[in-house]
């Protein structure tokens, strides 16, 4: 049966038109409802994607802040820690922070990117005596004691001390804590060897600065090469292993070597820092290492004590033992370090040639020949001019080594 024809014959045209309009409106309303549902679903899906992205960004931001990768608009300050430990549920951070040309009034402690506490800075006779030409070295000490469980401080913990002036954060020091520092009986060198290496017999200072140096050098290595490609590393001027011990413990580099002119310190390292490989080095090149033997050489505060001509001879030698494209990371006393030691009016004349090596240093008396060991200060321009002969300078981090020395990251040139 032809139903459309029957309807046209039996149902008046007006009625047919009414029903047609009603059906059309219903269909339209149904279409609107379906579009609205699809739209609302799309909105929810967009919201979920946005929230997921936002959470990812928050997580990335938190990690960056915790690692201090996002630098605030503050200056790197000079300073050291005398204590950094978590004992009996009390996290202690004690030390000093200073800018030589600006007075700081208070210090803020942040742990893994979270501000924890604030204290006023207190007077320090020691800093005032150590830095007689720094105008604001008298009120620099801080002492934080914060309740934290051991679980809150497992592994590597970023510790940042920020100096405040006029209520604003204007200076900072980045430090690192690891539960290694609270080991019950860490293997430490005898006091006489430690004294020659770091100038003090303070156990905490030895471990704190060793861990910080390790993090500074290792993070720089990881930024400029695939760490998995570093199979042989040398610490040139390892002393009694203050930094090497942490490379052995916290990296998977298959071969870690160290050398130093202090034979007694080298023997101690050989007997106590397994599986590191240690050797005594003469005061002048060459070493006994083979051409192209190492993928990476690190040196904390070695060039800082070598006269200009000897610096260049040793750089020749380090280039020889580094493989093609190998990294050299070395710290130097830059202009900031010089500003802590010399009168401001003397700095321009002192560094007129780019380097000053006239200061005698008695730190290795009895180990090195008289006059060998010096206090050496140099400009950034000097390093770029002289060190670029064998190396491509990848980065120059002012105050990048223990907050005072400059850290230079170099790659051996081809050919």
State the maximum Cα–Cα separation within the chain, in Å, rounded to a whole number: 126
Q: Are residues 192 and 161 in the same domain?
A: no
What mean pLDDT, rounded, does the chain reach? 86
Task: Give the predicted TM-score (pTM) of the model.
Answer: 0.82
Q: Which residues of 331-347 are buried (b: 16+ CB within 10 A; e: fewer)?
A: bbbbbbbbbbbbeeeeb
Q: Are residues 339 and 371 in the same domain?
A: yes
- Which of 153, 181, 209 is the last residue in one of the domains? 181
- Which of 37, 66, 95 is the last residue in one of the domains? 66
Q: Are residues 92 and 219 in the same domain?
A: no
**Residue stretches of the chain with pLDDT short of 70:** 1-72, 415
Q: Are residues 196 and 304 in the same domain?
A: yes
pLDDT of residue 72: 54
Q: Are residues 95 and 213 in the same domain?
A: no
Q: Are residues 142 and 277 in the same domain?
A: no
pLDDT of residue 48: 35
CATH code for the domain in which residue 127 is found: 2.60.40.10
Report strand pairing: 139-147 vs 374-378. Answer: unpaired
Residue ranges making up the domain that contains 399: 186-412
Q: Are residues 133 and 156 in the same domain?
A: yes
- Angle subtended by helix axes 191-198 and 263-272, to nearest 10: 120
pLDDT of residue 350: 87
pLDDT of residue 128: 86
pLDDT of residue 57: 32
Q: Are residues 206 and 93 in the same domain?
A: no
pLDDT of residue 18: 46
Q: Are residues 252 and 283 in the same domain?
A: yes
pLDDT of residue 71: 43
Q: Are residues 24 and 158 in the same domain?
A: no
Q: How many domains is the chain built from?
A: 3
Q: Are residues 395 and 337 in the same domain?
A: yes
- Which of 66, 86, 107 is the last residue in one of the domains? 66
Question: What are the tokens at 2?
Answer: 């032809």
Q: Which residues on adjacent β-strands are paired with residue 371?
A: none
Q: Are residues 59 and 160 in the same domain?
A: no
């Amino acid at each position: 049966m032809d139903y459309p024809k029957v309807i046209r014959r039996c149902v008046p045209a007006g009625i047919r038109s009414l029903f047609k309009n009603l059906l059309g409106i219903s269909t339209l309303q149904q279409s609107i409802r379906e579009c609205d549902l699809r739209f609302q679903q799309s909105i929810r899906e967009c919201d979920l994607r946005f929230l997921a992205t936002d959470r990812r960004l928050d997580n990335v931001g938190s990690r960056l802040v915790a690692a201090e990768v996002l630098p605030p608009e503050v200056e790197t300050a000079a300073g050291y820690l005398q204590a950094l430990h978590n004992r009996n549920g009390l996290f202690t951070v004690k030390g000093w922070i200073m800018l030589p040309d600006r007075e700081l009034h208070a210090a803020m402690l942040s742990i893994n990117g979270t501000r924890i506490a604030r204290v006023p800075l207190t007077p320090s006779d020691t800093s005032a005596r150590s830095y007689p030409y720094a105008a604001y070295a008298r009120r620099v000490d801080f002492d934080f004691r914060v309740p934290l469980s051991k679980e809150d401080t497992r592994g590597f913990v970023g510790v940042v001390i920020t100096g405040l002036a006029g209520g604003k954060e204007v200076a900072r020091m980045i430090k690192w804590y690891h539960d290694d520092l609270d080991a019950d009986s860490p293997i430490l060198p005898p006091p006489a060897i430690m004294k020659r290496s770091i100038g003090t017999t303070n156990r905490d200072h030895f471990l704190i600065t060793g861990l910080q140096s390790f993090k500074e050098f290792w993070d720089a290595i990881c930024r400029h090469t695939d760490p998995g490609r570093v199979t042989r590393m040398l610490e040139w001027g390892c002393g009694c292993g203050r930094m090497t011990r942490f490379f052995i413990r916290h990296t998977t580099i298959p071969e870690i070597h160290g050398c130093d002119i202090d034979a007694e310190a080298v023997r101690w390292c050989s007997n106590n820092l397994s599986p590191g490989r240690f050797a005594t080095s003469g005061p002048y090149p060459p070493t006994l290492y083979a051409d192209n033997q190492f993928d990476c050489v690190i040196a904390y505060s070695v060039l800082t004590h070598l006269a200009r001509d000897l610096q260049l001879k040793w750089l020749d030698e380090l280039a020889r033992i580094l493989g093609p494209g190998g990294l050299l990371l070395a710290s130097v006393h830059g202009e900031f370090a010089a500003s802590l030691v010399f009168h401001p009016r003397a700095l321009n004349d002192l560094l007129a040639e780019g380097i000053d090596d006239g200061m005698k240093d008695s730190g290795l008396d009895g180990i090195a020949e008289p006059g060998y060991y010096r206090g050496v200060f140099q400009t950034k321009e000097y390093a770029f001019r002289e060190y670029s002969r064998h190396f491509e300078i990848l980065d120059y981090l002012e105050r990048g080594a223990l907050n005072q020395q400059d850290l230079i990251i170099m790659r051996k040139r081809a050919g």
